[in-house]
Structure 1
Amino acid sequence: MMPDKETLISVRDLQLSFGPKIIQQNVSFDLKKGSIFAVMGGSGCGKSTLLRSMIGLLRPTAGRIMVDGKDYWAQDDAHRAAINRRYGILFQSGALWSSMTVGENVALPLEMFTDFKPDVIEDMVRLKLGLVGMEHAIDLFPFEISGGMRKRAGLARAIALEPDILFFDEPSAGLDPITSARLDDLILTLRDGLGATIVIVSHELPSLFTIADDGIFLDAITHKPIAHGSPRALHDSCTLPEVTAFMHRSASIPSQTEQKAEQHV
């Protein structure tokens, strides 16, 4: 069990809606510094919608998202933009600009939000790509690399500004098991090496059991969170039928020894 940590983000009584349709309501949880927090649930339960609200793309219809004790959505645009610069985001597809090389994609936030000189930016780009094992692809375009490599390039861009908090939307989606395990290992390395706090939206059980130490389970029927805890704890202890069905659809979960082996593939 990880030691108690300072609360970085508090979500309180959040309601997310599209017009009259409620997606989720009564959502409350704390994100602790240094944790890997999983947003879990079946398709259509509102996982990505919650993520979009946390990163400033969707205003909630009720409730609060507190960042370092300040209500994110009560801030003006300038203050929200300042908070957003503390975030790094990896979207499901990688979301790389197709007309830019991998290196140019990673350099973009540095060019937009810093006053670094071009030679410093180039050094930083190489460093970030090196961290994800992608320095060799610096001059390649997204269409010239594999899906797994695009995810890693997107991750390099997400950490370009050395953010406090990383948000990942289905990072393992579409990846083969070996590539997915390597991405899990990389996420753990970023958490441990860079001190990053991570929010991950996923329904990939092997990844969730391997990396997440806390989480929330969103139910698509009641439109409310119905369980809170690490994926492994929910698998072992939660008796709610909806959670049990989700957590046990895999035949088994990796042991601690198997996790370590996967992480070094």
Structure 2
Amino acid sequence: MAESSDPIISVHDLTIAFGPKVIQQNVSFDLKRGSIFAVMGGSGCGKSTLLKSMIGLLRPASGQILVEGEDYWAQNQRRRTELNHRFGVLFQSAALWSSMTVGENVALPMEMFTPLRPDVIRRLVELKLGFVGMEHAVDLMPSEISGGMRKRAGLARAIALDPDILFFDEPSAGLDPITSARLDDLILTLRDGLGATIVIVSHELPSLFKIADDGIFLDAKTHTPIAHGAPRDLRDHSTIPEVMAFMNREATVQDASATKGETHG
């Protein structure tokens, strides 16, 4: 077991690609325990694609993703599945099963991966939903709740197995500013209350400045990371034009071109 001062995840010289098309290369960073790490960059730079490699959905072309020293992609499928149980994921759409109640959605990981009795699972579901302020929605269908509530229900499912690493893909997308701010507060509560380490893909600057204490900036033009640090520090001190433009919400040529074609997050 790695010492607590060691990074919980280390990414070493990663290249992610679709066939001959390189999305990002030379990606290296350490994820400190208890941090909220932001993956930033303009449209089409590969933010969500990097996240997919980190959670086991996309094998990188080269490089390593070490989870407490274990090379994730060098493991067999059984061991990768075991490591995945340490991860909780909130996808951009929340990805709740529409034919299942909110409670059934949260219960699903426990039913699939634990030997717990149904009555115990029900109590844990109520506990997880209570943690995100959704205990009243346990028997409601996803179609009966708002977008913000679906995001919180997705968070409850993400923490169903008590993971120590959480991955959020654009958690504030489609939310109004007040609901987004409440979600930011909830993410901070997850970090502080559960001791979770969080990776967040987002372009919502108010959220990034509020909650993230470290991060990496991916450039769509060079297909490489061009800055590393807390979003607030990059905003205040970076002299890199692309980073300055992003942090000050200035449109860039690469953003405009990326939105016209196929993007990869």
Q: TM-score range by the shorter chain?
A: over 0.9
| TM-score computed with the length of structure 2 as normaliser | 0.92
1:53 aligns with 2:49: no
Task: Within 5 Å, give how 1:246-261 maps onto structure 2.
Answer: 246-249=246-249
How far did 1:58 drift?
0.3
Q: Which runs of 5+ in 1 are unaligned?
A: 251-265
Residue equivalent to 1:181: 181
How far did 1:105 drift?
0.2
SS at match of 1:7: coil
Counterpart residue type for residue 244 of structure 2? T
Counterpart residue type for residue 169 of structure 2? D
| Structure-1 separation of matches of 2:172 and 2:6 | 28
| Structure-1 separation of matches of 2:42 and 2:131 | 32
User: How many residues in Structure 1 have an aligned counterpart in Structure 2?
Assistant: 247
How far did 1:5 drift?
4.2
Residue equivalent to 1:106: 106
Residue equivalent to 1:85: 85
Residue equivalent to 1:196: 196
Q: Deviations over 1:163-198 (max 9, x none)?
A: 010000000000000000000000000000000000
Counterpart residue type for residue 86 of structure 2? R
Counterpart residue type for residue 63 of structure 1? G
Residue equivalent to 1:259: none
State percent identity of aligned pairs.
78
How far did 1:249 drift?
1.4
Residue equivalent to 2:134: 134
| Structure-2 separation of matches of 1:56 and 1:225 | 21
Counterpart residue type for residue 138 of structure 2? I
Aligned-pair RMSD on alpha carbons? 0.9
Counterpart residue type for residue 6 of structure 2? E
Counterpart residue type for residue 85 of structure 1? H
Tell me, yes or no, if the aligned pair for 1:5 and 1:34 is still in contact at 8 Å.
no
Residue equivalent to 2:259: none
1:122 aligns with 2:144: no
Q: Which runs of 5+ in 2 are unaligned?
A: 251-265
| Structure-1 separation of matches of 2:118 and 2:15 | 44
Q: Deviations over 1:25-80 (max 9, x none)?
A: 00000001100000000010000000000000000001000111010000000000
Tell me, yes or no, if the aligned pair for 1:16 and 1:22 is still in contact at 8 Å.
yes
Counterpart residue type for residue 230 of structure 2? S
Residue equivalent to 2:24: 24
More contact order relative to length (CA 8 Å, sep ≥ 6) = 2
Task: Within 5 Å, give how 1:6-25 maps onto structure 2.
Answer: 6-25=6-25
Question: Which stretches of structure 1, 4 residues or more, deviate above 6 A after TM superposition?
Answer: none
How far did 1:6 drift?
2.9
Residue equivalent to 1:74: 74
| Structure-1 separation of matches of 2:96 and 2:6 | 33
Counterpart residue type for residue 27 of structure 1? V
Tell me, yes or no, if the aligned pair for 1:151 and 1:171 is still in contact at 8 Å.
yes
| TM-score computed with the length of structure 1 as normaliser | 0.92
| Structure-2 separation of matches of 1:63 and 1:115 | 36
